[in-house]
Amino acid sequence: MLSAEWPLDGPIDLLGTLRPLVRGQGDRTIRLLRDEAWWTTRTSSGPATLRLRVGAGRLRADAFGPGGTAVLERAPRLIGLDVWGAASTAIEPRHPIVREMLRRYPGLRASRTEAVLDALVPAILEQKVTGGEARHVWHGLVRRYGEAAPGPPELGLRLAPSPAILVALPYHAYHPLGLERRRAELIRSVASRAAWFEAIAELPLAEAHRRLLSVPGIGPWTSAEVAVRALGDADAVSVGDFHLPNLVSWLLAGEPRGDDARMLALLEPYRGQR
């Protein structure tokens, strides 16, 4: 086990910041407990598990597995430490709802996992289906084709299936999990270019989006879902979402229905932190 500590630069809501990484109850690639978080991933050095705790004005991280050194170095960026700043200092509260959310959740940050496939594969699963359906497929993939993650075995943490396994599975092997051929083939395709996709985390955000959008089957919604998790893009907006325009229109304008254009217009004053 490797360990390190960093001083905090302001309030941090550890669990709230990492919650977007959780794909429903039963996601065994990550665990958010009362006062700590456990996150698993694959690195170029091998699999790793990271334990994070916040207390006494410091972030403490413990890393397990062959990829431990890599994820330990990544830990401050994973919770937005010294990179994006707390939302309460980065957003001008122009609307009562925004002011109230900043008051309630002053420590929310933009997480940056730098694990592109970890975000991309679940986002592909979520294309054109309900969240519940996508989570069911993700849990099945992890349970059937993943492997035990480094660290304490009693936590039951698992790694997502490796790119090699995702490529080797024929499309019909995905079908019993609830995945049709189009998305299965897209997952196999992106897994076959895993290194190319992972390199996106090193690019400026605009170029990262361009690279993602150059791939057939990856549109603005999927690109945004990846960017907000893997790239720490605090300005990513998931246009094309079924529910989000209505939610934003209702909260910011009191309008029960809205489309992407209306949503973007309402969010424009918050550009940079949308």
pLDDT in tens, 150-176: 999 999 999 999 999 999 999 999 999
Find where tokens 């592109």 sit.
116
Amino acid sitting at position 218: I
Confidence (pLDDT) at 211: 97
pLDDT, residue 127, reads: 95
What is the DSSP annotation of the chain? -EEEEEE-SS---HHHHHGGG--STT-TTEEE-SS-EEEEEEETTEEEEEEEEEETTEEEEEEESTTHHHHHHHHHHHTTTTTT--HHHHS---SHHHHHHHHH-TT--------HHHHHHHHHHTTTS-HHHHHHHHHHHHHHH-EEPSS-GGG--EEPPPHHHHHHS-HHHHGGGT--HHHHHHHHHHHHTHHHHHGGGGS-HHHHHHHHHTSTT--HHHHHHHHHHHS--TT---TT-SSHHHHHHHHHH--S---HHHHHHHHGGGTT--
Would you state the pLDDT for residue 272? 86
pLDDT of 11 higher than 90: no
State the average pLDDT for the chain.
Answer: 93
Neighbours of 34 (CB within 10 A): 5
Rounded Cα distance between 187 and 165, Å, is 11
Query: What is the arithmetic mean of pLDDT over 175-180?
Result: 94
Tens digit of each residue's pLDDT (9 = 90 or more) over 182-236: 999 999 999 999 999 999 999 999 999 999 999 999 999 999 999 999 999 999 9
Q: What is the pLDDT of residue 84?
A: 52
105 confidence band (pLDDT: 50, 70, 90): confident
Given a cut of 70, whether residue 256 has pLDDT beyond it is yes
Q: What is the model's pTM? A: 0.92
Tell me the pLDDT tens digit for each residue of 138-150: 999 999 999 999 9
**pLDDT higher than threshold 80 for residue 86:** no
Distance between CA atoms of residues 87 and 180, nearest Å: 39
Over residues 17-47, the pLDDT tens digits come to 999 999 999 999 999 998 999 999 999 999 9
CB 58: neighbour CB atoms within 10 A?
A: 11
Looking at per-residue confidence, does 173 or 85 come out higher? 173
Q: Which domains does the chain have, with CATH numbers?
A: 2-104 (3.30.310.20)
pLDDT at residue 107 is higher than 60? yes
